[in-house]
Structure 1
Amino acid sequence: MIKRLLDYNDGEDMNLVLLLKDSSLRTSKNGKQYLVLQFSDSSGTIRGNLWNASQQDADTFSPGTIVELSGRREEYQDRPQIRIYDLRVVGPNEGYDLSQFVHSAPIKQKDLEEEINKRVFEILNPTWNRIVRYLLKKWNKEFFSYPAGKSNHHAVRNGLAFHTVSMLRDAEGIANTYPQIDRSLLYAGCILHDMGKVIELSGPVATTYTAEGNLIGHLVLIDEQIMLAAHELEIDEHSEDLMLLRHLVLSHHGLPEYGAAHRPVVLEAEVLHKIDDLDATVYAITNALQQTKPGEFTETIKSQDNRRFYRPKNDDALDKAPKLE
């Protein structure tokens, strides 16, 4: 069997064709420049540093470039990394395609589409239903192929739809337990809350932030899309239904310091925020645990306050779970 990037153990040499998922030119304490590179294939991503780099190197080894890497897997500060021996750009005539190096969500796109469309029919409020259907149709291709982020969570092809489906499943269970929750509003919020990422992010391959993403952000971007949809559908822009939906998407990050335009002050908005945070948290920890041997701790997880999580020795459930990244 051909070994992929994450199949190598510490101390093993490798020679692989990989995708540069990210590249950043930095300056060390001694004033020398180096490139921080994120190497990726269908198994996952590992970082490596190219020392004594120049701006020309940064231009050559830019995100989205396919490269041939010769190096060794090591560990530094509890995180895997690659010591680079040699690195070259793979030419366009060498038979490689970007799609070969992109990891996808563990649920097929067709199944993601079917499950989300099923939930749309359960949104009984006509205002929310019409807006959700309108925006799903408008952004269908992007919504079902884009990742949910550049690196933090669900940063895989179809990751945005996968994250949405996971949240809808959680929302169903919570709405069944608490009948006072408006299921239609919560479902609409789950589907739309991150849809602005189809504008915020560049796409599923070598994902970067767009100008709109850096300057505006996905919360405001989806709010704009909701208002445009309301205008096209001739929905009263001052109706309470529209205001509630906008509040859910604008507040789903919980706190202003995390990007929320307002703290949640509607029950469904608070629940949406909690579900979103829960799914992102479980994903990040699970992804790290899947790359960790039983009886050992994960690498530090940035999104979890740089904590390291322990993988129990008899963790059969994790072995049966689909591989995330």
Structure 2
Amino acid sequence: MDDLAQLTEANQQFRGYGLVRSARLAQTKKGDPFYNLTIARGKTEIPVKVWSDHIHGREDEVKQMLQEGKVIFLEGDTSTYQDQLQMTARAFRAAEEDEYDIAEFLETPPEPIEALQEELEGYLQQITDPLLAEIVTSIYAKYKKPFSTYPAATNNHHSFVGGLLYHTVCMLRLGMDVSTRYPAVNKDFIIGGITLHDASKVMEYTSHIAPAYSVPGEFIGHISMSSMLVDREVQRILAGRGENAKLTKLEQEAVYQLQHCILSHHGRMEWGSPVEPKTLEAHIIHLIDMIDSRVNMAERGLDGAPEGEFTKVFPLGKLYKPMSGDD
């Protein structure tokens, strides 16, 4: 097989190219070094083991080769471990630049990036509060390019190029629908909170091709950093108003509510939120985030799975893929 998508069962042989999505050096119980890799092409990913006999004597070369974001030429054999397909490497080398097109290895959203950008910017124009509109629009404008290319997660959901933008737009669609059905919902906080809830993932991750956690991502995390972005915009706006300028009481409350929507969107403290939802809009954003992430997990996990059977989809557990009825 020369395409990772063709690998479906144990005892298959692979000889082809793959993108190193993750690479972790580990040790066996005997102290021998080995690598845990995740090799990808488009939507397809497979764990790969590189044992010590392929590392010994070429440690520096292998370390340079097996880096996240690099494309390698790989030969290996498939097997199963705990009901999950994996591969053991027999040989590998760095791919030459003229041997591949990086775009062929990157998964992208099911909708064009430009259309998603246009849709999001249309929602931003619907924010009626002038201060909130300026804060949210300014942050989006500053980070538009990485916001449109970075993933929404390193794995599990929307972990592909443009995943952050796609996840945000999908949430905005749900949020606007909920706002239309329930007049008590403040659309400004729905639009602003959703747009900014994951905005700092462009700083939490190291790249859009093979994202790992950055230093500020590890130390602070995207939730707190996104709230910090709001505060920085407020300080910029106040500086433009003149010396000793302050927000009005209503403006300050609006800023607090926007930051609260960001800070509470994971729902519970044990899930990473510094605070739990205390406004209607914060509860809605948390629930919509849960819905959209789980739908994406299920869709990607069942893509290519056999119909009429249960398939393990991490972290959702076993999911059933209905039969299509084409027979």
Query: 1:153-168 residue pairs with structure 2 within 5 A?
Result: 153-168=157-172
Higher relative contact order (CA 8 A, sep 6+): 1
- Deviations along 1:30-70, one digit per CA (max 9) or x if unpaired, are 43322100001123211111112465434431212211011
Contact 1:231–1:237 (CA<8 Å) still a contact in 2?
no
Cα distance change of structure 1 residues 30 and 297 upon mapping to structure 2, 3 Å threshold: farther
SS in 2 for 1:25: strand
Structure-2 residue corresponding to 1:198: 202
Contact 2:266–2:272 (CA<8 Å) still a contact in 1?
yes
Letter in 2 for 1:72: D
Task: Tell me which of 62, 73, 95 is aligned to 1:68.
Answer: 73
Aligned residue pairs total 311
Task: Tell me which of 285, 294, 302 is aligned to 1:281.
Answer: 294
Letter in 2 for 1:217: G
SS in 1 for 2:321: coil
Cα distance change of structure 1 residues 280 and 184 upon mapping to structure 2, 3 Å threshold: same
Query: How well do the aligned residues superpose, as a CA RMSD in angstroms?
Result: 1.9
CA distance in 1, matches of 2:76, 2:2: 14
SS in 1 for 2:309: coil
Query: 1:224-239 residue pairs with structure 2 within 5 A?
Result: 224-234=228-238, 236=247, 239=252
Structure-1 residue corresponding to 2:276: 263
**Structure 2: runs of 5+ lacking an equivalent:** 239-245
Task: Tell me which of 96, 101, 106 is aligned to 1:102.
Answer: 106
Matched, 1:312 2:311: no
Contact 1:24–1:58 (CA<8 Å) still a contact in 2?
no
Contact 1:188–1:245 (CA<8 Å) still a contact in 2?
yes
Report the CA distance between 1:277 and its aligned residue: 1.1
SS in 2 for 1:132: helix
Contact 2:65–2:93 (CA<8 Å) still a contact in 1?
no
Query: 1:122-271 residue pairs with structure 2 within 5 A?
Result: 122-234=126-238, 236=247, 239-271=252-284
Cα distance change of structure 1 residues 315 and 16 upon mapping to structure 2, 3 Å threshold: farther
Structure-2 residue corresponding to 1:319: none
CA distance in 2, matches of 1:255, 1:9: 38
**Structure 1: runs of 5+ lacking an equivalent:** 317-325
Q: TM-score under structure 1 normalisation?
A: 0.90
Cα distance change of structure 1 residues 85 and 190 upon mapping to structure 2, 3 Å threshold: same
SS in 2 for 1:207: coil
Q: TM-score under structure 2 normalisation?
A: 0.89
Matched, 1:81 2:94: no
Report the CA distance between 1:116 and its aligned residue: 0.2
Percent identical: 28
Letter in 2 for 1:49: K
Contact 2:156–2:314 (CA<8 Å) still a contact in 1?
no
Task: Tell me which of 303, 308, 311 is aligned to 1:290.
Answer: 303
CA distance in 2, matches of 1:58, 1:309: 38
Contact 1:78–1:300 (CA<8 Å) still a contact in 2?
no
Structure-2 residue corresponding to 1:321: none
